[in-house]
Structure 1
Amino acid sequence: MILRHKALSVHLLTATGAVLSMLAMLAAVDGDWEMMFLWLVVAFVVDGIDGPLARRYSVKDNSPRYDGVIMDLIIDYLTYVFIPAFALFKSGLLSGWTGWFAIFVIVYGSVLYFADTGMKTKDNSFSGFPGCWNMVVLVLFATRPHWTVILFIVVILTIAMFRNIKFVHPVRTKRWRAITLPMTIAWVIFAGWAAWVDFHPASWAIWGLVISSIWLTVAGAVQQMVPEQPRRRA
Structure 2
Amino acid sequence: MKRLPLLLRLLALALLVLFLWSPASFEPLLRPLTENGAPAIYNQGNLLTLTLQHLELVFAATALSTLIAVLLAILVTRPFGAEFLALSRSLVNIGQTFPPVAVLALSVPALGFGWKPTFVALFLYGLLPIFENTLTGLTTLPPAVTEAARGMGLTNRQRLLKVELPLALPVVLAGIRLSAVIGLATATIGSTVAARTLGEVIIAGLLSNNLAFIVQGGLIVAVLAVLIYDGLSGIEALLSRRLGDTTRR
TM-score, normalization by structure 1: 0.30
Task: Give 1 or 2: higher helix fraction.
Answer: 2
The answer to which structure, 1 or 2, has the higher relative contact order (CA under 8 A, 6+ apart) is 2
The structure with the largest alpha-carbon Rg is 2
